């Protein structure tokens, strides 16, 4: 984003001097003459009405000279840089001006365009450096308030010292998919502005999540502040979209005390759930949020059954259609996102975990990739994209050329019905009237997995469904899926899903509470 031109106010009682400065090619060097004044009093009124970045003032003028103007300017909270023009080398006045905080001085009789531009450029560099330091300090203080609340009360005084407006505020959360939302991003400045009584800054809260804090110097609510904040969010969202990074946004109610930022953060996290189904880039507020719905349990049972049956028959296209049907139903029922991700993980668990080739030429494990993409989805469109990719990959997956042997089909049915019992390779081999060694070799040849690995995966997937759908104790889930040693079960579960059964259960209950 290009930096705005530095605004320069020219103050001199001599029209020829002002005309001389106007003749310089300033705009192409990043400066614009924002106004002219004939004396310091007139300039003082203009500075208070529309503050410039730099004031160029004659040191000797009628009504109010440059020194007296400098005394007034240095008392402002955000004082412009002042450059004084002298007609002669009056060292006493120059020394007094420097003690009062003048940025520099130029002798008018020797004034050249190159010297004038160099002096302005030096002031502009200092302004930008000070702004960077100020913004960095403000960001750190706001982050302390956001994450600490009352413990960071001292931060309010420091913010006041930095002239950061804080009469009222609104907090927005902007979410990206974790792999897309970096700590810093080229579009980040698009969310930031400081104009009139309002200002906004972006803070990285966690990977894939930014907080935009909009503040106002005004105490009254005013529709202008809300409109200004919404425009800042939309502008930032459009900049992100242009870079291929869509955003999900939530905006809190107005609050008056910055110590209430943690409450606004909690409110926005809740609103992001509603934003999961809202149009991308459109901020969700407490006034337009929609309560989550419920996904019918009987539909989940039917989808799980259909997906497992399709995979067992090697009808991969039918399994993909089942996933697409689930995505359509999810968009219609709009369950809480956490609940939706749990359901998606269970459905993805029905798929094979064989390698598939992606569009970029790389390979990935189908089941694992879909589960990871569902877990990372911050918006329904991202979840839909993940499901559509999986359905397409399933359609392109060739079914085994020879039909699966009847003995192995019978063994798979045995696993489906007896997985909760004391089942092993020897028992399955006896069931299909084959020797254990020959049966084991055939099973691996037909399924791509050893019998014990296949049985273990099947049991763990059924265990995850029980954790999702029931309130059985962990040891009951373990026993019910054929792994009676609950500690061993927990270790197997954590190795496969990178979370313990207890943590998985906690996430499920949290999702239920949000419904």
Please give the DSSP secondary-structure letter assigned to residue 16: H
Q: How far apart are CA 53 and CA 34, in angstroms?
A: 9
| pTM of the model as a whole | 0.60
Q: Which CATH number fits domain 165-275: 3.30.70.270, 1.10.10.10, 3.40.50.10860, 3.10.580.10?
A: 3.30.70.270
H or E element in which residue 355 lies: strand 355-357
| Common-topology check for domains 165-275 and 406-514 | no
User: Is the pLDDT score of 182 beyond 80?
Assistant: no
Please give the pLDDT value at position 513.
56
Domain 406-514 fold is: Arc Repressor Mutant, subunit A (1.10.10)
Q: What is the pLDDT of residues 311-343, one digit of tens each?
A: 888 888 899 999 999 999 998 899 989 889 989
157 pLDDT more than 80: no
pLDDT exceeds cutoff 50 at 258: yes
pLDDT digits (tens, 9 = 90+) for 353-407: 778 788 777 888 888 899 989 988 888 998 999 999 999 999 888 766 556 788 9
Q: Does the domain made of 6-126 have the CATH classification 3.40.50.410?
A: no
pLDDT at 257: 80
Among 79, 215, 191, CA closest to 138: 215
What mean pLDDT is predicted for residues 47-70? 89
Distance CA(233)–CA(438), nearest Å, equals 65
Contacts 24+ apart (CB under 8 A), 367-376: 370/344, 371/344, 371/345, 374/341, 374/344, 374/345, 374/348, 375/341, 375/345, 376/177, 376/178, 376/179
Q: Give the Cα-Cα-Cα angle 337, 338, 344 (nearest 5 degrees).
A: 85
**Residue ranges per domain, the chain?**
6-126, 165-275, 297-396, 406-514
Split at pLDDT 50, 70, 90, the class of 183 is very low
Identify which of 161-170, 372-381, 430-439 has the greatest average pLDDT. 430-439
Pairing of strands 355-357, 363-365: antiparallel
């Amino acid at each position: 984003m290009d930096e705005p031109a530095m605004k320069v106010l020219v103050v001199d009682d001599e029209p020829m001097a002002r005309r001389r400065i106007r003749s310089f090619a300033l705009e192409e060097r990043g400066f614009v003459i924002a106004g002219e004044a004939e004396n310091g009093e007139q300039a003082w009124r203009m500075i208070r009405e529309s503050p410039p970045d730099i004031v160029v003032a004659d040191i000797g003028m009628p009504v109010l000279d440059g020194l007296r103007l400098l005394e007034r300017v240095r008392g402002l909270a955000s004082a412009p840089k002042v450059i004084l023009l002298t007609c002669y080398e009056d060292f006493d006045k120059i020394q007094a001006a420097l003690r009062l905080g003048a940025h520099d001085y130029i002798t008018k009789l020797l004034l050249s365009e190159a010297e004038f531009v160099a002096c302005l450029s030096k002031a502009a560099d200092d302004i930008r450096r000070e702004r960077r330091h100020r913004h960095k300090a403000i960001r750190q203080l706001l982050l302390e308030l956001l994450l600490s609340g009352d413990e960071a009360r001292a931060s309010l005084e420091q913010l006041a010292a930095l002239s950061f407006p804080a009469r009222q505020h609104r907090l927005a959360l902007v979410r990206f998919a974790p792999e897309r939302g970096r700590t810093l991003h080229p579009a980040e400045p698009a969310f930031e502005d400081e104009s009139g009584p309002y200002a906004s800054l972006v803070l990285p809260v966690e990977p894939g999540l930014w907080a935009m804090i909009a503040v106002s110097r005004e105490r009254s609510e005013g529709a202008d502040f809300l409109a200004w904040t919404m425009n800042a969010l939309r502008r930032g969202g459009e900049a992100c979209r242009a870079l291929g990074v869509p955003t999900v946004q939530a905006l809190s109610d107005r609050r008056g005390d910055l110590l209430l930022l943690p409450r606004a953060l909690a409110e926005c996290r809740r609103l992001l759930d509603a934003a999961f189904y809202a149009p991308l880039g459109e901020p969700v507020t407490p006034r337009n949020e929609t309560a989550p719905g419920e996904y019918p349990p009987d539909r989940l049972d039917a989808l799980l059954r259909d997906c497992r049956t399709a995979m067992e028959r090697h009808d991969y296209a039918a399994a993909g259609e089942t996933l697409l049907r689930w995505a359509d139903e999810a968009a219609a029922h709009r369950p809480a996102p956490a609940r939706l991700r749990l359901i998606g993980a269970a459905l993805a668990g029905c798929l094979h975990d064989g390698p598939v080739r992606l569009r970029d030429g790389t390979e990935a494990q189908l089941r694992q990739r879909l589960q990871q993409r569902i877990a990372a989805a911050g918006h329904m469109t991202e979840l839909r994209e993940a499901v559509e990719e999986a359905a397409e990959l399933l359609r392109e997956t060739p079914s085994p050329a020879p039909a699966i042997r009847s003995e192995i089909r019978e063994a798979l049915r045995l696993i489906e019905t007896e997985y909760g019992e004391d089942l092993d390779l020897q028992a399955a081999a006896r069931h299909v009237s084959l020797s254990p060694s020959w049966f084991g070799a055939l099973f691996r040849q037909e399924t791509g997995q050893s019998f014990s690995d296949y049985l273990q995966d099947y049991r763990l997937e059924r265990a995850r469904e029980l954790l999702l759908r029931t309130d059985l104790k962990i040891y009951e889930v373990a026993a019910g899926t054929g792994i009676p040693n609950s500690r061993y079960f927990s270790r197997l579960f954590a190795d496969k899903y990178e979370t313990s059964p207890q943590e998985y259960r906690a996430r499920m209950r949290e999702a239920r509470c949000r419904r």
